[in-house]
Structure 1
Amino acid sequence: MGLRFTSVVPADLAEVFAWHTRPGALSRLIPPWQPLRPVAEATDVRDGTAVLGLPGGLRWAAEHQADGYDAPYQFVDQVVSQPFAAAVPWRHTHRFTSEGQGSTRITDTVDTPVPGFLLRSMFRYRHNQLAEDLASAARARTWRGGPITVAVTGSSGLVGTAVCALLTTNGHRVIRLVRRPPRTRDERRWDPAAPAADLLAGVDALVHLAGASIAGRFTERHKENLRASRIGPTRLLAELAARSGVETFVCASAVGYYGNDRGEQALAEDSDRGDGFIADLVAEWEDAGRAGAGAGVRTVSVRTGIVQSPRGGTLRLLLPLFAAGLGGRIGSGRQWLSWIGIDDLADIYLRAVLDETLSGPVNAVAPNPVRNSEYAEVLASVLHRPALLPVPALGPRLLLGDQGAAELALASQQVLPARLAALEHRFRHPGLEVALRHLTGHRQLETAVR
């Protein structure tokens, strides 16, 4: 019973150990297909306690053991919360050994009655994720060496959670701009309609991710909510960034800028704007974000494709259907789908914050868009299921209305990351199959594992 899992990562011992001690490490290592979320991270891997939330209000609390701490070689945690401590004893030893030449062997040993084969996909994901995050951090240091302070709106959302954890494990301080009373020293209350004059005091970069979800029927009320949550708040933040001496303003945007159907045209950042409500909304949104550019604020608009993560978005909706063998293409299946894995998207935000050569619109999409029918086939193959039940175009129209279906479920945009390609940006998962295998726990480890 239990498991021993080991691999070698291309980073030195001190950096690997330090990465595990930083805020966000727990969030970065939890497999996205598992129903777990960080409730509280350990303040110290010597003797702190980490708490994970599970469905039904259950809590998994793991207490770090002082007698197992030996920096930078080892730390140990053990489950202490009931009913798990009694029913599923769990002691996890994290061991780090220098392999020389900037490489470190990581060995996870879990003493538990849980059979090892049930744990293998989780630890395969963790080791892959760690190796990729350390490589990402090494690239980031070439753009900017020292730590900075980054304010983030929308920090609790799907993208915000990934971006904040990646920033903090890179050693940067994140200040979360929240609309409720602050609970920690790294939170500040943000009123979107009237941000406080000192909201961005001491901030080097601002990442703006907040905005109402675009999903839903395109009623006049829904469209007005989308405008109200984006245009005004974005302009006010951009203007405040300029007055506060913020160096960089990175704002979320969308590939909807190019319109809902551009045929077979390959779309780059300099392509013309398309037609439709979303195209108009995105253009106005990006214009609001440029309000501080005249005062010298480096401004980046991250035109995001269809984000892939089991924790949210379309993949979260599709996974249960495809796992049950009920998935298939939507409509004709000929529409182009410009997608991006959640970790590649977080990398792009990290680069936008740190790389001073990057400004203006940036297409945050993988370099290999696929048609909807191919997406369905790949997802089904990864899950070892057929993709035999197509969804007729009538289905999205009934749910979203004609306009919502045309601009969301049936939209077709072949968008390419031209700006990033010119910078030789490295994608973790440039191909859809590898991305989905990693995100769903069906990927083989690419480094040495026993």
Structure 2
Amino acid sequence: MITTINPYNGKELQQYQELNKKEIKAKLETAQKTFEDWRTTSFEHRANHLRKVGALLRKNKESYAKLMTAEMGKPVSQSRGELEKCAWLCDHYAANAPGYLAKEHIETEHFKSYVSYEPIGVVLAVMPWNYPFWQVFRFIAPALMAGNVGVLKHASSVMGCAELIQDIFLEAGFPEGCFQNFVIGSDAVEAIIENDIIKAVTLTGSKPAGAAVASTAGKQIKKTVLELGGNNALVVFKDANIDSAVEECVAARFQNTGQSCIAGKRLLLQEEIAEEFLDKFTQKVKTLVSGDPQEENTYIGVMAREDLAEELEDLMNASIEKGAELHYGGSRDKTYFAPTILTNVTADMPVFKKETFGPLMAVTTFKADEEAIRLVNNSKFGLGASLFSTDLKKMEELAAQIKDGAVYINHKVASHPALPFGGTGISGYGRELSHYGIREFVNIKTVVIA
């Protein structure tokens, strides 16, 4: 039995009966049967259904947002924003998938040569709790437009959201087997990956989870896409627009109560502006409203589980023992972790080296550009970085020296339907979104007519 709990008040929300092996087998067979028909449908047919999903997200966003907030503690205004972004994604792929997957004609010595992008079958998604809708939609929207079908193993703590997403696709007119949620625990995933019906796997989550899924899939010679978190740096140079950079950096760290793979977790300040920036940054953080995530003006809710808040507290305390200074915050009450700023952070401290998945900012200073880039790259993660400066030409040059999958200049790292999303190092491999994402799970077929 899977039980969902409201992290704000600790109350039980719902219980869900886990699928047994026979039920899992039947659902996989339904997916495969549906795929055989779905793959033959037109882009127009698929797009019409996907637009209906987007319309339902917009129409019912109030009730959907309340469930999301109840299950994982996201402030309800941000839950609404997540749903709006999912609707945008649906519209984007409905409009652009035909172009993304159009045949590419290539000039060769043959009479005719081209590349076609064809569906591969049933794709398994293993998704986390921090963005219960977005993480699923950025997988399933392109998958369905490509002619594939999907099955979902969602985080147990947001099983209500997972079931709701399944219902939304059915209400929009998709056949039952196009998208199915599996009410299962992690122990059932390996056997599902090993099933011949599953052709590929995408996972967003931790490094251990990604390694386990990739290992199982690799033994079956099945493709995987992994998005495994990040330790993004926010680099503020001495010529930056301080006020706008403060706004971006606060949002980058504290949105979603800091529980985001692309959150800015390491704040690198050039010495000349460090004091001014830190003062303004701190004043802004002090204005962030903590409280009941269902309240409209709440910006900092609670963390999704108490053990996650405890882990963050341990990283903070271990870093303080190594010499970091508690500049602001630092308190915890069950799942609530106060917005926190640590200064004098060095590269050997846990809050610099590890992913801090919560509302804690680690502040480090630097002297020259070269030192800043070394600090950015001094991480096993490689998801993204943000650079703040008025010298755009120099920032583009520095961006080329950063190993991450994305560099944003004068803006927080963010995902966008038209841009590829993914990382390097232990942040994973493969890309989601844009034409790169939709082509991850297709057969890139060469056709030659002599």
Higher normalized helix content (fraction of residues): 2
Give the TM-score normalised by the residue count of structure 2: 0.30
Q: Which has the higher contact order (CA 8 A, sep 6+)?
A: 2
Give the TM-score normalised by the residue count of structure 1: 0.30
